[in-house]
């Protein structure tokens, strides 16, 4: 593992980590103890119809999306929506080559982009980050 302070709570937080267990990859292999980093903003309404799920892109993080798109009067307004940003596996905050012990860490870069969407649902707690 490599210590990389860029991908930290201080720079890209706040975010939560959810251990989704062992993630089987389409092309073979398994990511053991796969961690998904995510951030939430706003609150889920009683009808549960105001949730928006946003996956990040490679090397993009929830903090970047928050700074650009989330806020009162912006496209993603936490007063209206319950916003969940899931950080891409391999993108720095979730399980990635730099934060996963060998031998699995270096194999993460081989996985396809669809892995992010195939991962089982994260367990969201009722609290929100903002």
pLDDT for the residue 129: 46
The span from the CA of 112 to the CA of 63, in Å, is 23
Q: Using one digit for the tens of pLDDT, what is the confidence trace for 37-84?
A: 899 999 999 999 999 999 888 668 889 999 999 999 999 999 999 999
pLDDT for the residue 5: 80
Q: Using one digit for the tens of pLDDT, what is the confidence trace for 7-24?
A: 888 888 899 999 988 888
What global pTM score does this model have?
Answer: 0.78
Does the pLDDT at position 29 exceed 80?
A: no
pLDDT for the residue 15: 92
The span from the CA of 5 to the CA of 92, in Å, is 10
110: confidence class by pLDDT, cuts 50, 70, 90 = low
| Structural domain boundaries in the chain | 9-118
- Pairing type for strands 30-41 and 16-24 reads antiparallel
CATH-assigned architecture of domain 9-118: 3-Layer(aba) Sandwich (3.40)
SS3 48: coil
102: confidence class by pLDDT, cuts 50, 70, 90 = low
pLDDT for the residue 128: 46
Q: Which residue has the higher pLDDT, 27 or 87?
A: 87
pLDDT for the residue 57: 80
């Amino acid at each position: 593992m490599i210590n990389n302070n860029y991908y930290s709570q201080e720079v890209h937080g706040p975010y939560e980590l959810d251990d989704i267990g062992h993630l089987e990859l389409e092309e073979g292999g398994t990511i053991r103890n796969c961690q998904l980093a995510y951030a939430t903003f706003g609150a889920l309404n009683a009808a549960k119809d105001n949730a928006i799920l946003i996956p990040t892109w490679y090397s993009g993080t929830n903090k970047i999306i928050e700074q650009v798109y989330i806020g009162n009067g912006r496209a993603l307004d936490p007063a209206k929506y319950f916003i969940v940003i899931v950080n891409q596996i391999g993108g720095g905050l979730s399980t990635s080559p730099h934060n996963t012990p060998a031998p699995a860490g270096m194999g993460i870069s081989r996985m396809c982009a669809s892995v992010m969407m195939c991962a089982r649902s994260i367990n969201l707690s009722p609290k929100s980050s903002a």
